[in-house]
Structure 1
């Protein structure tokens, strides 16, 4: 099996070298071609003919690679070495499991549904999600430099808690598959992943595998509950409303921060459209994730 390894050497805490990854993959019987995420010519690298593409990096690297894959029928897999690893976590990838286990071996590819977001200035792929409110505000704030991946996650959660304590609920009007939904929320996120932000399980399913968006809404009345949940987010479901949709239209009324995957930008009032891309990619899931999807 010939694999193209697309690697971000600076992801996470940098405890993953090119040499170590190549040695471990070759021990699985693979022939490995290597491409660095820091190489400006990475789209040319992705054009190589291989059996599969392996992405060793965090969410930003995964989003970057998948958005530029020239062949959606060539499967890819993820070796999570970043901080939050929300896309990988939502698909069931764990670094230790995939590197020490039999994957990709006899793994069967599954459809991987990304989304598209259309703004006034154009359209782009969306792998994790987009939204307004507390999460976008927290991402826009400067945080202390972390020494470990765990510290990075905790810094992100503390930043979100600070934003939640300070932000005012904002009015949002949207159409979910043609049905009007409006209200005032502290956070309004449209997700394809079950996990988002600083590794938070905000949605009960991963739309990456079933072709649905999860619209996550946090009301003013749930502010204190959410602040408490952030202390132990894996202990139970978040105090949010989650609505499924395949097509979301949001009309913004004022200039505000918008999160798109792992970055934030300030936008003017406009119409924003999010939808599931009808042409899926193919992903080689870990055994555990495949069993859950059966």
Structure 2
């Protein structure tokens, strides 16, 4: 009997993880799979469970949660032959957006796993740590830091309120960038490094970034007035900010980002203090996704 591992974050999305698991688990078993039903007491234990699945040669690990669970799984599955399935149950669910996996229908998401269609994508790596979506390294990272400390409200509104709170006191930052070996000094509101196009529940900061082009999209939003930033922020949801004169993008295989006092976030998780060197790792992760229409 084929085996699937199902790894759940029961607290993801304020309990949506547990509810989604309750739908997905019997659906996978009814299809004839032996399912390892796994939950970690914390992120360290959950990652160890994912690593054990890879070591045991489990063909498919399905995570039930949000981008944080995808991030955790990527650390274990990167460059391995184990496939990653996703039952979205988080707050942002940007990876599910990338792949057109239903974000509010765990049964339909489980059916995508069962159908077995795959897509191989790149990952971004700094040292031994990987990320799937976007690394935030400026105003966006500071907003993430505040939003992750907030317990109310839920979803995107939490990021919006954190943005307004930080905007009152924010000052432009001084960056040193090394873009495929070329060094640049820049004053900017933020620098974002995208493997994919969005983060934070659909904020398309690195609009146009492709998951399988072997490159990272490094977006620089140069210094602008606070009123201009407020006017520009809603454009992030459509990706139309790319026409702003303060917007700049570089597509590179490797970038070093340095800025004093900034802790970066990636996949919505604390990733590391700057400076960081990030490189694209082509074809590093195989995901289960909807097949052709």
Under TM normalisation by the shorter chain, which class is it? 0.7 to 0.9
Separation in 2, partners of 1:91, 1:241: 26
Structure 2 contact 86–113 (Cα < 8 Å) conserved:
no
Number of aligned residue pairs: 279
| 1:85 to 2:93 alignment | yes
TM-fit CA distance, 1:175: 2.1
Aligned positions of 1:32-71 closer than 5 A: 32-38=35-41, 40=45, 41-42=48-49, 43-69=51-77
Separation in 2, partners of 1:51, 1:260: 26
* 2:137 match: secondary structure: strand
TM-fit CA distance, 1:198: 4.6
Query: 1:283 maps to which residue?
Result: 287
Moved >6 Å (runs of 4+): none
Separation in 2, partners of 1:71, 1:236: 30
Separation in 2, partners of 1:219, 1:285: 36
Query: 2:13 maps to which residue?
Result: 12
TM-fit CA distance, 1:236: 4.9
Separation in 2, partners of 1:152, 1:98: 18
Query: 1:211 maps to which residue?
Result: 214
Question: TM-score, structure 1 length as denominator?
Answer: 0.81
Instruction: Pick from 147, 152, 157 the counterpart of residue 155 of structure 2.
Output: 152
Instruction: Pick from 222, 230, 239 the counterpart of residue 227 of structure 1.
Output: 230
Which residues of structure 2 form unaligned runs of 5+?
Answer: none
TM-fit CA distance, 1:277: 1.8
Query: 1:114 maps to which residue?
Result: 123
* 1:110 match: secondary structure: strand
TM-fit CA distance, 1:181: 3.5
More helix, by proportion:
2
